[in-house]
Amino acid sequence: MRSNKWFLLIGILAVFFLNSSFAPMPQGSATLTVEITNIKNKKGRIQIGLYNNYKSFPKVGKQYKMVRLKPTGKTIKHKFTGLKSGKYAIGIYHDENGDKKCNKNMLGVPTEAYAFSRNFRPKFSAPKFSDCSISLKNARLISIKLVY
């Protein structure tokens, strides 16, 4: 009798894991691949912030999703998966000294490489979400060039 319970438990667990492993992706699931170019060196980390809200853009720490990558060459890519269709903006900086901040001079201009989606280059202030936003429906690849 005891061995039947084990077989039953193993069978239930097997069915659970098989069903969860092959569950369909949710409808509207999108992928955004970000290619970062013009990386000058392999120091520190490249921080990519993905924003889905104009109120938080481009504030560090207020991202929808964030990743820090070790630069491996002049170009790197990162894929954000499981996103809903909609508008997104990207803010990037190369944290060469590893202090987890985008260092700036006395005027507030970044002293470390930075970039925004749509390769938007702000003139006198931080960009607006609308300046950098892109539409995402299914899958998309965008290329962003770092500015030094």
Tell me the per-residue pLDDT of 75-108, one tens digit each, with 9 for 90 and over: 999 999 999 999 999 999 999 999 999 999 998 8
Domain locations in the chain as residue ranges:
28-145
pTM of the model: 0.79
Residue 10 confidence (pLDDT)? 53
53: left (phi over 0), alpha (psi -120 to 50) or beta: beta
Longest dimension (CA), the chain: 78
The CATH code belonging to domain 28-145 is: 2.60.40
